[in-house]
Amino acid sequence: MRTFITLAAVAIFGLAACSRSDQTKTGDDLKDAGRTASNAVAGVAKSPSVRSVEADLKKAGRAAEKDLGKLAAQAKVATHQVAADTRNAGHDVARGDRSSDRS
């Protein structure tokens, strides 16, 4: 971003020091350079290799989402099991665990 601002400032100061025809020519050259850069970026975005990488990233993202969903489900089951075990242990303590006294 700083580079763009610096280039714009240099272009503005450069245009101010030039004659009207030079300013027009320089302005046109800058517009053409902007169009060329824009077309180059659009060309890269539409290239088959970039599209392939984009598809691969989407596929990897979907796989990661699926794996994380499975892990979350397993964690939920484990959490419920720990809660049930804790609840049962609490009940055993509250009852004095009479079942172990009888053995």
Decide if 61 is inside a domain.
no
Decide if 79 is inside a domain.
no
Decide if 60 is inside a domain.
no
Decide if 51 is inside a domain.
no
3-state secondary structure the chain: CHHHHHHHHHHHHHHHCCCHHHHHHHHHHHHHHHHHHHHHHHHHHHCHHHHHHHHHHHHHHHHHHHHHHHHHHHHHHHHHHHHHHHHHHHHHHHHCCHHHHCC
Encode the chain (103 residues) as per-residue pLDDT tens digits: 667 677 677 767 666 666 777 778 877 888 888 888 888 888 888 888 888 999 999 999 999 999 999 999 999 999 999 999 999 998 888 887 655 555 4
For the chain, the domain total comes to: 1
Answer yes or no: pTM beyond 0.95: no
Domain containing 20 equals: 1-46
Decide if 29 is inside a domain.
yes
Dist CA 59 CA 54 (whole Å): 9
Decide if 69 is inside a domain.
no
